[in-house]
């Protein structure tokens, strides 16, 4: 039988405090101290994790059993908040524009309840507050610290403004895209702008590359597969009468089918290198596949989804082209992940917008998902 937990005013106050005090990736020092204080005040052991920011708590059940983890990310974004909320960010230029304050407060609420009901736990639960999700590498730091080496499964959530509070989406389909970060640097022979024949210019090559790269998806990837290739920044020159010796661009690729990433990578290198050769210059390509698509463990995901209707409204998955470094944990553990509705109003701002508003009403469903998913996964593993 599923639990129905109420998020009281104290938990909403915690959410407001966290929203007002966001910190950037790997700089979440005060956030870490605050979270550790909250755990300790509720009788939850804080482990010596070796992490510089972020932390791991431990709740031991009264009966033997497997060990799992619950994870929330804790970093904010370099965004000037423009929401008009009464608890708007007090750290100028930093905002919880992805709703990680909802994740933290929801996991705290779940941890408080689990610590008070250890008799319901057959096994043990680690409470992971992870740094630097926005850089796509925070989970790598956690894995390198070894704090999940003894964990059989890990449960995570992400608020989603495309669903209403009380709606939860979980299932076997890919939920969030795989993510590549690329950076291309072009090396040429700079010269005076009045004597282009005395050098080789990278600007024309750069323009040709950007246009040609847009054909990779349209002419190489199956039209039944969702792939995005976006050029997001361009650099080259800063003087009006000088053809620069160097230029470049960077961007991202998003994908849901694992086979599409090496396909796009191969075509990308061919286009860039051959275009550079045609213009008489050279190119350096930095291609970093930060993460694979996020997909639930089929058995555990189905088991958890089967109970969501007891305490929330189960909705179909709307796949997101955004990335999520939670998928890195598949190297050590079985994954369970859900979208938790956080707004749902027509035209509401999405993640990473200065106008993003996650509603307080999203905290309670987050608490309930963490608790019920934890108890169900422990039962399934046992």
Decide: helix, strand or coil at residue 293. coil
Q: Is 352 annotated as a binding residue?
A: yes
Beta-bridged to residue 156, according to DSSP, are 71, 337
Distance separating alpha carbons of residues 23 and 162, to the nearest angstrom? 25
**Does residue 324 have a known ligand-binding role?**
no
Per the structure block, which two tokens stand in for 273? 């290198």
CA 32 to chain centre: 18
Contact 368, 312 (CB under 8 A): yes
Annotation-wise, does 158 bind a ligand?
Answer: yes
The answer to whether residues 367 and 11 touch, using CB atoms and an 8 Å cutoff, is yes
Identify the helix (H) or strand (E) that includes residue 380.
helix 363-381
Whether residue 348 is annotated as binding a ligand: the answer is: no
CA distance 293 to 139: 15
Query: Cβ contacts of residue 310 below 8 Å, gap of 6+?
Result: 1, 2, 372
Query: Is 257 annotated as a binding-site member?
Result: no
If 0-12 CB within 10 Å is exposed, 13-18 middle and 19+ buried, where does residue 371 land?
buried
Distance in angstroms (rounded) separating the CA atoms of residues 191 and 242? 6
DSSP string spanning 355-372? T----GGGHHHHHHHHHH
Which bin fits 238, alpha (ψ -120 to 50), beta or left (φ > 0)? Answer: alpha
Residue positions forming the annotated binding site for Mn(2+): 98, 100, 134, 158, 352
């Amino acid at each position: 039988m599923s639990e129905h937990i109420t998020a009281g005013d104290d938990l909403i106050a915690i959410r407001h405090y966290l929203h007002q005090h966001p910190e950037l990736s790997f700089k979440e020092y005060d956030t870490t101290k605050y979270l550790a204080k909250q755990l300790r005040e509720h009788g939850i052991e804080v482990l010596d994790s070796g992490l510089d920011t972020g932390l791991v708590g431990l709740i031991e059940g009264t009966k033997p059993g497997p060990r799992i983890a619950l994870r929330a990310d804790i970093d904010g974004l370099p965004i000037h908040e423009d929401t008009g909320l009464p608890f708007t960010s007090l750290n100028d230029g930093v905002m919880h524009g992805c709703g990680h304050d909802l994740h933290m407060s929801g996991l705290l609420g779940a941890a408080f309840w689990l610590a008070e009901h250890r008799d319901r736990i057959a096994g043990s639960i680690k409470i992971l507050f992870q740094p630097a999700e926005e850089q796509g590498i925070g989970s790598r730091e956690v894995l390198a610290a070894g704090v999940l080496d003894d964990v059989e499964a890990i449960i995570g959530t992400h608020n989603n403004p495309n669903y209403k509070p009380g709606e939860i989406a979980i299932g076997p389909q890919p939920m969030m895209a795989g993510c590549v970060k690329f950076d291309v640097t072009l090396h040429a022979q700079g010269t005076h702008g009045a004597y282009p024949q005395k050098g080789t210019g990278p600007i024309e090559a750069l323009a040709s590359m950007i246009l040609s790269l847009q054909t990779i998806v349209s002419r190489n990837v199956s039209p039944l597969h969702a792939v995005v290739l976006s050029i997001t920044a361009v650099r080259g020159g800063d003087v009006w009468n000088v053809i620069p010796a160097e230029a470049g661009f960077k961007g991202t690729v998003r994908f849901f089918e694992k086979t599409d990433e090496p396909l796009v990578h191969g075509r990308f290198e061919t286009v860039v290198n051959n275009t550079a050769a045609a213009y008489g210059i050279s190119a350096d390509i930095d291609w970093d596949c930060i993460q694979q698509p996020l997909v639930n463990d089929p058995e555990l995901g189905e088991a958890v989804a089967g109970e969501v209707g007891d305490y929330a409204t189960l909705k179909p998955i709307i796949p997101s082209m955004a990335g999520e470094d939670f998928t890195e944990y598949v190297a050590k553990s079985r994954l369970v992940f859900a979208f938790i509705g956080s707004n749902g109003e027509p035209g509401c701002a999405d993640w990473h917008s200065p106008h993003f508003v996650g509603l307080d009403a999203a905290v309670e469903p987050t608490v309930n998902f963490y608790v019920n998913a934890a108890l169900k996964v422990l039962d399934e593993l046992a």
